[in-house]
Amino acid sequence: MQFSEEKFFRARITSRRNIADDLWVVHVDPGAEFRFAPGQYATLGVEAQDKLVERAYSIVSAPHEKELEIFIELVPQGELTPLLYRLDVGAQLSMRKVPKGRFTLDVKSGRKNHLLLCTVTGVAPFVSYIRSFEKEWREGKFDGGHRLFVINAASRSWEFGYREEFERAAASIPWLKYIATISRPWEDADWKGEVGRVEDLLRKYADAWELDGTNTTAYLCGHPQMIENSKGILQRRRFAKDVIREEVYWIPAKEAKT
Ligand SMILES: Cc1cc2nc3c(=O)[nH]c(=O)nc-3n(C[C@H](O)[C@H](O)[C@H](O)COP(=O)(O)OP(=O)(O)OC[C@H]3O[C@@H](n4cnc5c(N)ncnc54)[C@H](O)[C@@H]3O)c2cc1C
């Protein structure tokens, strides 16, 4: 590859876990130290026809982990993901040396509740928050004073990626609550959990967990429509704009005019 050593790492895929036909998780060795805060993203790239195609990917792993973990969805008509999809263990990709993003946990405002809402790969930054807090908590450096409430949505249950990890963690961590929900139960007959989109469950769980705009910061990550709809619901529950944080993964293409 022809990219500059000054700006990019030559990162290498060290493992790959397929979650569904169009979803997979990779571990990436950047080849040098890469410092980031939970909630930030890495910029990954693949060279194609003499051009470097790059996109943003939220980091699943926590800063204390040796390798970077990324959860990717294939966009069949997309430019980069079909190239990434072909890469297996040992393959090289470019990674910008500087992490980006401000979708980090608000631990300074005094709000102790954090409502984390996501679709499919949008769970990535939340896994990073929780892994980091869990490490600090087990080491006695975090007193559990911040409480995290996750609503994780997917179309079908096999698209979650991190449900088992969250359920295991929530079973032993007093400061974590986790709800998984699917929006296509008719395609997933064995599912026994919640059904509906994030927007359908938001009021119910915000009430049950006693979260409102006075005591909670909300974080929305992933699908643009979920973010738009949930933001409206939160604003009607008196969440001011400055206590709603969002990470929109893509801008929907304009509908073709007919
Ligand atoms: C801050 C940030 C963090 C991100 N983190 C992740 C992550 O952790 N995992 C991840 O998989 N993606 C993530 N994304 C999205 C990622 O950057 C790419 O946009 C995505 O992988 C598609 O790239 P592409 O080149 O294949 O498609 P593009 O060529 O960029 O897009 C082709 C078309 O598909 C639409 N599109 C893009 N993504 C989707 C999608 N998922 N579903 C439906 N339509 C889509 C675009 O709007 C466009 O119209 C993140 C984006 C941002 C801004």
What value does the CA radius of gyration of the chain take, rounded to a whole number of Å? Answer: 18
Mutate to test the pocket of ligand 1, among 250, 251, 254 (most ligand atoms within 8 A of CB): 250
**CA of residue 241 to ligand 1 center, whole Å:** 25
Closest-lying ligand 1 atom to the alpha carbon of residue 55? 17
Query: For position 1, what pLDDT does the model report?
Result: 53
Query: For position 4, what pLDDT does the model report?
Result: 82
Q: pLDDT in tens for each of the 258 residues of the chain?
A: 567 888 999 999 999 999 999 999 999 999 999 999 999 999 999 999 889 999 999 999 999 999 999 999 999 999 999 999 999 999 999 999 999 999 999 999 999 999 999 999 999 999 999 999 999 999 999 998 999 999 999 999 999 999 999 999 999 999 999 999 999 999 999 999 999 999 999 999 999 999 999 999 999 999 999 999 999 999 999 999 999 999 999 998 775 444
Query: For position 252, what pLDDT does the model report?
Result: 86
Q: Which residue has the tokens 């007959």?
A: 189
- Is 2.40.30.10 the CATH number for 8-96? yes
Report the C-alpha dihedral over residues 190, 193, 197, 203, rounded to 10 degrees: 160
Q: Supply the pTM of this predicted model.
A: 0.97
Closest-lying ligand 1 atom to the alpha carbon of residue 121? 9
E strand or H helix at 59: none
Mutate to test the pocket of ligand 1, among 73, 75, 118, 251 (most ligand atoms within 8 A of CB): 75
CATH class, domain 113-248, is alpha beta
Distance CA 230, CA 210 (A): 17
Query: For position 258, what pLDDT does the model report?
Result: 42
Distance CA 12, CA 44 (A): 11
Residues with CB under 6 A from ligand 1: 41, 55-58, 71-73, 75, 77-81, 101, 121, 124, 247, 249-253
- The 3-state DSSP class for residue 115 equals strand
**What are the domain boundaries of the chain?**
8-96, 113-248
Please give the full DSSP string across 159-181, using - where no structure is assigned.
G-SSHHHHHHHHHH-TTEEEEEE
